[in-house]
Structure 1
Amino acid sequence: MDITFFLNRGMDAPLYLQLYQYFKENIHKGRIQKGMKLPSKRHLASQLSISQTTVERAYEQLAAEGYIVSKPRSGWFADYEESDFPDIPTACTGSIHPEPIENKQLIDFYYGNVDSARFPFSSWRKCMVNVLDRFGPELFHPGHVLGELELRTLITEHLYHSRSVRCLPEQVIIGAGNPVLMQILCKMFAPGSSIGFEDPGYPRTRKIFELNSMKVLPIPVDKEGIYIEKLQEDQPSLVYVTPSHQFPLGTVMSMNRRTQLLKWAAENESYIIEDDYEGEFRYSSLPVPSLQGQDLHNSVIYMGTFSKSLLPSLRISYMILPKPLIEKGREITSLYKQTVSCHSQLTLTEFIKCGEWQRHTNKMRKLYQRKRGILLEAIQSELGRNVKIRGENSGLHLMLDVYSAYLEKELIEKAEEHGVNIYPASPFYQTQPPASTIFLGFTGISEELIREGIGKLRAAWGL
């Protein structure tokens, strides 16, 4: 396979990133089909007059995101399912869960991205090789159904120091992303069980509960967190909360509300699902201890992920069960076996032990804080009093209430006409969605494009 591609050596973007974008775009457009062999590193380096290291970094990025796979002694091949990369329409009010829009001509403020160009691929690759050398043929065997013990132990140690979570390795279940762990969790409770769900809240998680025949009860939230009075009225068997950074509002649950919630759960023998999905990224205040760390009655199911601090495509998350659910959790998990490969788990273990994960997380926290500052400055400069910002003190996105004559759908359409993708807030609400509120993610977009994009929004909305 020969390719004709112009590498712009005058651009700020690294050559490997330009090459990665070329292959990714052609895979999405169907020009590189599943099973097609890519040029060898040596051949492509010679053809484009670049180093083999440049080609290798581009291929490793594509492999990490699930686009290609390396076959021993054969080379690199496109390896994806068409259903993984559907044509994605412009986000609108009626969608259940807005997805990033694949259009390279648009400035995309998608809130689910990370800055993957900063991922330390060479360090990750070194850890992968070390694991292969250390374990060899052992990696061919299925791993422990709960996950590799060494990784589960490291997770318990990290969470104790960083989030005040108290648990043992046997309470930890590793899974290929939170949706898989949510599926396992749903099977631990009887069909028709009621669950209180923050309103607004994450629509994909809500849909998983609904598909598992759970009765989802919308529970409103305010600046302190979920309404305890509504929980007392509805009496659900479970309640799902995001207390460290409420999704999508960005508020932090107050200590008083946390105490009330834990007391309610203990008195009613209900369980709290604490989703700490962005626990590493706070910018304006000290971290608040987890609900799990304050729980004295085994009422909290704690969930976390490496998707935000590493790469979403690695698909490594974890769930910590309270002691009364351990036996049931092990029984259900054994039916799924282990959804994350031993090699990936042990590579992450090595990555954590050598300090690379903490270094990378610290670096990304500083980078995202800088991008956040640029975004806030641009909004203040370009949009001023025409918008209200919400949720800017933590996490990887913020919300904008836009004061204009346009409604949500019109705001999105006008933005696209001016070359900017933004996303609706309404899918996150079960009741009373806002009329003109949009989402802006800032982690997967360059600092220059952040400024340019906000300027385009001012022009698009006539502010």
Structure 2
Amino acid sequence: MDITFFLNRNLDIPLYQQLYQLLKENMHEGRIQKGMKLPSKRLLAAQLSISQTTVERAYEQLAAEGYIVSKPRSGWFADYDGSDFVHIKMPSTSSIKLKAQENEQMIDFHYGNVDSAHFPLSAWRKSMVNSLDQYGHVLYRPGDVLGELELRALIGEHLYQSRGVHCLPEQVIIGAGSPVLMHLLCQVFGPNITIGYEDPGSARSRKIFEANQMKILPIPVDHEGICIEEIQKERPSLLYVTPSHQFPLGTIMTINRRIELLKWAAQNQTFIIEDDYDGEFRYSGRPIPSLQGLDQHNRVIYMGTFSKSLLPSLRISYMILPALLLEKGSEITSLYKQTVSCHSQLTLAEFIKNGGWQKHINRMRKLYQKKRAILLETLQSELGRHVKIRGENSGLHVLLDVYSPFSEKELIEKAEEHGVKIYPASVFYTKQPPTTTVLIGFAGVSKDNIREGIKKLKAAWNI
């Protein structure tokens, strides 16, 4: 182990005494635990620029007090009973394992989780190796600041076929997650502008805009999507919407509302940010083209991510800028260079080219549709008239209006007492929501645990 201490040579306290005291404090605080090997006298003397004699005297004092022990031909080792000395208790390995086991036993209906057990690791590994063979000679280069051209071109092709998006590879910017790209976008528009925001809407996105000194104008959402009358009344300089699966309500914006919205943007020379965060997953009705695909006046900024279709931990998202914003967007992006590793991007490009991604998407659509059906069926059979389900036709979560004397907080606490984690809807509203509502995500929960979790909710809520 390396030890870096500041020994003050201007003090009257001898250096060996300072070293002794610092080592003892680290043992008291649990930073140096029983069984850890200490540096040799020669090595520690070199690290701290002191004599070996100084280190020897400190070690001898610690050994005399039972803090450390010398083992022949092995070195010095910490040797103390933590229960006697530790003031700041460090978590033990057993307690960490116990906490992990408790979390594993919880049925977690988090709306941001995906089914990682079905991630095609073997195919991804093969794509990773193939990308090294194909692009290994360019991995040492800085790379295009907008992202690897191979991946940007493939994203453009996929979006045209699946979402009706029209773009050139030069319009696509790759980023390490949607928050990074939203931050870049804020730099493009600058502070102090007004942005119309769905209410309720994504709390994280709203906080990013607020952190960049944008003024949030909450706009209500009805059964067709964001309310156009309120937009016309508030007249924001920028608009943020989630039309494919309104977050968190799950509303799918109608084609008529989309056309009205685009007409308003063109007339007012305003840009719309279309966040298509989980547009790959739709379970009923005919697909509706994206706003960007319907746009005839280049007023839509399209945002998407691979977090839902692959894994959140990959941290690969993208946005498509209209031609009018390309120069400014490229200038801002160049300050950050590539925020996603070149190798990760080229691995994903290879994964898309060899058909691995489309195959995975098709498989996950079927799986999530089955999970959704199980969730809806179990909610109906177990909770019945005590709940109302909303937003079930798209995406990876549903809203649950709960008819109960318990508050939102109490519902969540009682669920956790029974081994189930659900999430509040109130955090997405600027005002108090009209109903007692919770969010339930189903993508990251097994089929059996979906059934078991809902049964536990019934017991927890005395329904």
TM-score range, shorter chain: 0.7 to 0.9
CA distance in 2, matches of 1:361, 1:457: 31
Match of 2:276 in 1: 276
The aligned runs of 1:21-60 (5 Å cut-off) are: none
SS at match of 1:140: coil
Deviation at 1:319, TM superposition (A): 0.3
In structure 2, the gaps of 5 or more residues are 1-29, 37-99
RMSD of the TM alignment (CA)? 1.8
Cα distance per residue 1:10-40 (max 9 Å; x no partner): xxxxxxxxxxxxxxxxxxxx99x9xx9xxxx
Give the structure-1-normalised TM-score.
0.78
* Alignment pair present for 1:312 and 2:312: yes
Q: Name the counterpart of 1:302.
A: 302
Give me the whole-angstrom Cα distance separating, in 2, the residues matched to 1:101 and 1:254. Answer: 45
What is the aligned partner in structure 2 of residue 406 from structure 1? Answer: 406
Q: What secondary structure sits across from 2:219 in the alignment?
A: strand
Return the alpha-carbon distance in structure 1 between the equivalents of residues 202 and 185 of structure 2: 17
1:205 aligns with 2:205: yes
Amino acid at match of 1:129: V
SS in 2 for 1:205: helix
Aligned partner of 1:143: which letter?
Answer: G
Matches of 2:214 and 2:102, distance apart in 1: 34
The alpha carbon displacement at 1:348 in A equals 0.4
Q: Which residue of 1 aligns with 2:249?
A: 249
Aligned length: 368
Q: In the aligned structure 2, how far is the partner of 1:274 from the partner of 1:149?
A: 23
1:286 Cα shift?
2.4
Give the distance between the partners of 1:158 and 1:323, measured in 2 at CA. Answer: 20
- Whole-Å Cα distance in 2 between the matches of residues 151 and 165 of structure 1? 16
Distance 1:370 1:121, change over 3 A: same
* Partner residue in 2 for 1:218: 218
- Post-superposition Cα deviations, 1:370-408, rounded to whole Å, max 9, x if no partner, equal 000000110011000110000001100001000011110
Q: Counterpart of 1:113?
A: 113
Deviation at 1:255, TM superposition (A): 1.1
**What CA distance in whole angstroms lies between the structure 1 residues aligned with 2:222 and 2:331?**
38
SS at match of 1:104: helix
| Match status 1:382 vs 2:382 | yes
* Map 1:178-189 → 2, pairs under 5 A: 178-189=178-189
Deviation at 1:150, TM superposition (A): 1.1
Structure 2 Cα separation of the partners of residues 151 and 122 of structure 1: 20
SS of 2:385's partner is: helix
Q: Runs (4+) of structure 1 moved beyond 4 Å?
A: none
Which structure has the larger Rg over C-alpha atoms?
Answer: 2
Q: Aligned residue for 1:261?
A: 261
Alpha carbons 1:412, 1:422 under 8 Å: kept: yes
Name the counterpart of 1:346: 346
Q: 2:458 matched to 1:461? A: no
Q: Alpha-carbon deviations, 1:277-306, whole Å to 9, x = none?
A: 111100112221000011111100000011
Q: Which residue of 2 aligns with 1:196?
A: 196
Give the letter for the 1:148 counterpart: E
Q: Go from structure 1 to structure 2 and tell me whether the alpha carbon gap of 1:451 and 1:284 turns closer, same or farther (over 3 Å shift).
A: same
Q: Distance in 1 between matches of 2:103 and 2:216?
A: 35
Which residue of 1 is the match for residue 422 of structure 2? 422
Q: Does 1:104 align with 2:104?
A: yes
Cα-to-partner distance string for 1:404-451 (whole Å, 9 max, x where unaligned) = 111100111111111111100000101232441001010101111110
| Structure 2: distance between partners of 1:101 and 1:383 | 29
Work out whether residues 368 and 396 of structure 1, in 8 Å CA contact, stay in contact via their aligned partners in 2: yes
Is the contact made by 1:425 and 1:434 (CA closer than 8 Å) also made in structure 2? no
User: What are structure 1's unaligned runs of at least 5 residues?
Assistant: 1-29, 37-99
Cα-to-partner distance string for 1:142-184 (whole Å, 9 max, x where unaligned): 1100111111111111111111100111111000000000010
Q: CA deviation at 1:101?
A: 12
Calculate percent identity across the aligned residue pairs: 73
Q: What SS does the corresponding residue of 2:357 show, helix, strand or coil?
A: helix
Tell me if the contact between 1:243 and 1:253 (Cα under 8 Å) persists in the aligned partners: yes
Which secondary structure state, in structure 2, belongs to the residue aligned with residue 278 of structure 1? coil
- Work out the CA distance in 1 between the residues paired with 2:357 and 2:377: 30
